Structure 1
């Protein structure tokens, strides 16, 4: 198992990334290798500074860096030896099993779509995120930002992708799928959500329980929450703000601690040919370590191969 990690991506790169890799190296399976991609001399110097003496971190040189504010498509074209371009190249050639980065989100999305590409049959790969549940554990919400507007058939596919992820990565036996809407009744919502409801309802491959409302986000009504990326991103940012507010007021609670972006470390892109995880730009070493651990779970569950199988049948 080889997990590639962009050493140059993120507001606090490369220091926070390398430090996070060192933390993850103490936790991952002994047979796993973390592949740090970046300026080799810089990365090796930091590994030495942080006292790393193990053998499960390897370094691959990438001479260029895509900065956070650069235009994604232009940057990937003009910087073929950037850490993001090299990472996707390794994933495409299956020389690594996953690629993680806290760098330029747009470049990560463009790389996922045009380098490793969407699995045949996938209409619009979504970014997923995790929803803490009051009863314990997590659900999954998708999309949270890749596709601001979605057709009904795309929302239906999000339900399928989320179900597969919830079943095999989150270990939820028969995940319940809910469509985020402004009312529980079947006829509520926009023309798009009404049509999506009918498609999800008719889909025998998922356990669709109907519309859910915002107040159902953290209860057990649904394990997989389906929405367009515009809605999902607003929900995600609001949840993050709740943690920030409570933290600033000195209020500590185990449930709300799960709202901290560090808890899972990143958001997977689902439906592409490989395991891809995007981290928060301000990722700390703990967040980077957790992102690597999340990639390990995805690889072990063979989730993207299960996506492939589902859409090839």
Structure 2
């Protein structure tokens, strides 16, 4: 009788796991597929909550929608006069008009093209010159003594302060506009490159020397690569300063450009053109910033993990 009862219990109860560390899982019913909402594996740091971790895309979309809704409400119920804040429909209609008919003898595409050429031309020149200067300032005290005083002297100055001097020296041509934007981008990019070099771990440098690396190899393969996160941050900051300086550069003797269009429209109280120009500038600045973030993720995959 006891043997029959024990046999009955063995058939009624599923077999226990062989190892004590295993967890028991009931048998899956026939025809039932895998769970669609299965939990993902926990990444290091998720248990305690890493500050700032996670995607903020949904919050950004809600914020943009809320700002647009506030803009619609403020213009629909006339909280602000149209002279100071035109409606989104008016700005969109002006965008179509300027894109097709033009403003100040140039279409929107022509204004945008000349501004992009000025900003990114100055940005490319700054990357070619400022990054090597910043790296030299970080690895050589002689270079730091030569370049640090002039950079730290003019860096806090607003571009409008030395714009008259640039005009006196180089005239009112295209070169002076690009030079003004270049100087505004050069200082933060060089300082970011120097900070990136100074943040390199000394253990990495000693390890490279112990494996027979030369000074040039240490600078190229260890210091420069370790400084890339700071350099990318400086590039993002520099291009933002470049777009800010664009308006100042196009104040003098300009007949085209987004900054010129905004300033010219402000003189005639065309707030719809002003807002439209601001939106276009912000759009291209945002696109470039997102591009730089993508390039940084590809070129510096170890950022935040080491």
Bin for the TM-score computed over the shorter chain: under 0.3
TM-score by length of 1: 0.25
Task: Point out which structure has higher relative CO (alpha carbons under 8 A, 6+ apart).
Answer: 1
Higher helix residue share: 2
- The structure with more radius of gyration: 2
